[in-house]
Structure 1
């Protein structure tokens, strides 16, 4: 790159530099040759530093400009039984040693680019607190869990995780786990707990996972520069052509949370009717939400963003890292379709979008860009906590809601809500994270009530009748 081009890059705002570097490298022919980029991530030679992902770069910027704790994800589990604290400490260290993502720190180069550097040995951050003499233990546990979620994790210093072990009695503990969202997604939680249980039992695998998160980041960086990545960008630009970016709020982004749920007496018959048309519960809910948004906005061409695991490549299912991306799904609500017809359109749209779900959302809309959707929607089906410790009962401890808007959206101030639902035993519950500058709790409840109303009508209306609010 010429010195003039480098100076031009340096004059760009920090949030645009990395994407500009990608595009510049592509334009001047310094991108990797297609033959040199494997079809999927493979162990990198030498295990050295690799470029940070675009998601990592966005979280890094946001932490420095707005909220230092934006990257902290935290939850807690209650342990009842004869816990061996020293054994647990060793098991935690074993898991950190096993996963490069948990030994990663980010370093910023003079040109503003970010690199992931993996430490050779883990550094366990574990605070052991004795609460046996505390009168109101429940209040102190809640305070510790909340404090963990609000405490920044400094990736520049290699602090990707931090743990607290709260001792309430000899046979009663609470383990608080915090990890930086730049290296840890929802799927990673299950991998971490399963590995922790194996290490505690003394049966942990000695070999590392086949593919580590930095291997994936290195491959993704090359893939984005190569022809396959460019074809995906072109596909999405065509797929989303004609859509305007969502409007950002005029006020500063302020987060809100609201527990939400759907009446099982409504969802059960609606899901049964949807299954008869080859649609999953996720497709049924997405279709219903599209109808609600069409009614709310007066626009029949609806785009909804849905977070996906991003682990399609072999070997990634046992890795810890931040693989999540967001896939836009465009649903056509025009013409007053019946629910069966709307399900058909939604089923096609979901399949088409997920088939092109490898592109990072930041590469699609650009650093600091605004997507053409203001609502994010996900339906999870989480298993029970995969922490099988000998003679110990394990249960989840309620804590502060997750903060996903900055993780999932390059433009949180243009996002109305992120609705995350969980299906357990046929019941749909979850949390809506919303932007108080754009919506109130009443608005969020209206969205959920609208979904229920559409599903109720879909199951009760005559076949072929238009479905609407």
Structure 2
């Protein structure tokens, strides 16, 4: 499963229909939204504050400069608008996070954020856009729609379908995009990050497919009850309230950030193009890339090697990244922020929402000569910090007074067991993210799916960053190829000599 911007997906021309949530009878309800006493999670609150207040100068007009996530995939059935509307309505009614919003007001101390909820039912209704003659036109339309999403304006998730249309006389024949079959259509959705994380995107693909197939067959199913992210937020606030300045989690974060002058660590290679003229004070747009680096069979080879030493595939990939960075930078230690899920309660295993914590990872390979030694060192480093995910970092920042934004982030997801993941390739499924702007952030998203392992990235859009990020990922591929070979004796492979393999 790749994770890219919408522009990187080959959208076809066709008839576009938007699917927009609405509250039933909302025109006649004077008090559509009421106050919900349940608090926002620390992450949700920080996101709304950072986006709506601290970064408001970056907004264009009344737009909130947040971020959106989504997915695109082929639905391999005929397009039945009535059935699809019922399926999407069922999906949104299943997850309470789609039926709440956030309101900003002011008191004597400044801006205040409050959760708002509704007792009205949500219904997803279609809105015809019309036939768009090129994939480029479709892209521009959808991008405008998704970029307008905001954590402070409901709805927080919108969808669109693209169905086959008769050839258009004025179509741009140079727009070489795939066509849609007669018995299928494309579905695309975007959601504000406040109501969705990466795992939620993956869950949504199979859930929507299943609900629609059931509606078409005339046997609609009632989804199993799932936990609500709104309830999770209460638990998150309780965990945050337990933190204090002498708590181990707070002290660990303080020590980690102090090494960079109370900043998050950056990418291990330069990402600033100091030779380029500075022509603007605006944060530059970021570039991105995505590629498949290992087949399913190669990933299985590495997993067997890691398991034989008592470690996981996640540890093997992070060890390979540490080895690659050391071979290029000459530094023994790699440091980064690592997102980890907080779905520790089984009630939330199938929930849509933002269930993510972040942990500070520091892998010191000093003295590690073989891949197995690097694996052991990395495993110990991750195990030592993994429990910190349950403690919300925005609360840590509040206690310490540190105002810092992650600069080098590495995410790993094993998505092989997400429902319906075996069909993702056949459906042409891809997860999506909105554009980002930063002159020093580097994000790597590593996903293991039934097809293999993919690596997606975003980084500063300049020559230096592009060259160094690509060099690091190329070296990462080379390191991963070593244990993927069945003939290799891993205890004798010198990790410090991987430059020869890359």
Report what 1:329 is aligned to.
Answer: 361
Distance in structure 1 (CA, Å) of the matches to 2:490 and 2:221: 56
1:113-132 paired onto structure 2 within 5 Å: 113-124=112-123, 126-129=125-128
Q: What SS class does the counterpart of residue 449 from structure 1 fall into?
A: helix
Report what 1:354 is aligned to.
Answer: 386
1:59 to 44, 47, 50: 47
Distance in structure 1 (CA, Å) of the matches to 2:245 and 2:84: 43
Report what 1:256 is aligned to.
Answer: 287
What TM-score, normalized to structure 1? 0.74
Report what 1:167 is aligned to.
Answer: 163
Q: What SS class does the counterpart of residue 105 from structure 1 fall into?
A: strand
Which range is displaced more, 174-183 or 359-368?
A: 359-368
Distance 1:117 1:439, change over 3 A: farther
Distance in structure 2 (CA, Å) of the matches to 1:308 and 1:404: 22
1:161, CA displacement in angstroms? Answer: 1.1
1:187 to 178, 192, 199: 199
1:121, CA displacement in angstroms? Answer: 2.3
Report what 2:95 is aligned to.
Answer: 99
* Contact 2:70 2:190 (C-alpha < 8 Å) held by counterparts: yes
2:342 to 310, 313, 318: 310
Distance 1:205 1:241, change over 3 A: same
* Contact 1:81 1:172 (C-alpha < 8 Å) held by counterparts: yes
* Contact 2:35 2:116 (C-alpha < 8 Å) held by counterparts: no
Deviations 1:337-381 (A, max 9, x none): 322111111112222222332122333345873368624242442
Distance 1:351 1:373, change over 3 A: farther
Deviations 1:263-309 (A, max 9, x none): 55976655544333223222112112112333444432322322222
* Contact 1:262 1:452 (C-alpha < 8 Å) held by counterparts: yes
Report what 2:467 is aligned to.
Answer: 442
Deviations 1:92-139 (A, max 9, x none): 2222223221011111232323222222224446544475x6654x45
Distance in structure 1 (CA, Å) of the matches to 2:101 and 2:137: 31
1:19-58 paired onto structure 2 within 5 Å: 48-58=36-46
1:446, CA displacement in angstroms? Answer: 0.3
2:455 to 408, 427, 430: 430
Report what 1:157 is aligned to.
Answer: 153
* Contact 2:257 2:264 (C-alpha < 8 Å) held by counterparts: no
What TM-score, normalized to structure 2? 0.69
Q: What SS class does the counterpart of residue 51 from structure 1 fall into?
A: coil
Distance in structure 1 (CA, Å) of the matches to 2:200 and 2:299: 29
Distance in structure 2 (CA, Å) of the matches to 1:87 and 1:253: 43
Distance in structure 2 (CA, Å) of the matches to 1:319 and 1:461: 43
**Aligned-residue CA RMSD in angstroms?**
3.8
Which range is displaced more, 140-149 or 152-161?
A: 140-149
Distance in structure 1 (CA, Å) of the matches to 2:426 and 2:138: 16
Distance 1:148 1:126, change over 3 A: farther
Report what 2:495 is aligned to.
Answer: 467
1:212 to 224, 228, 243: 228
1:153, CA displacement in angstroms? Answer: 1.2
Q: Does residue 224 of structure 2 align to residue 224 of structure 1?
A: no
Q: What are structure 1's unaligned runs of at least 5 residues?
A: 1-45, 407-411
Distance in structure 1 (CA, Å) of the matches to 2:406 and 2:93: 41
Distance 1:175 1:341, change over 3 A: same
Distance 1:325 1:214, change over 3 A: same
Q: Does residue 78 of structure 2 align to residue 82 of structure 1?
A: yes
Report what 1:421 is aligned to.
Answer: 446
Distance in structure 2 (CA, Å) of the matches to 1:387 and 1:419: 21
Distance 1:177 1:467, change over 3 A: same
Deviations 1:169-204 (A, max 9, x none): 574332221211101112223444455456542544
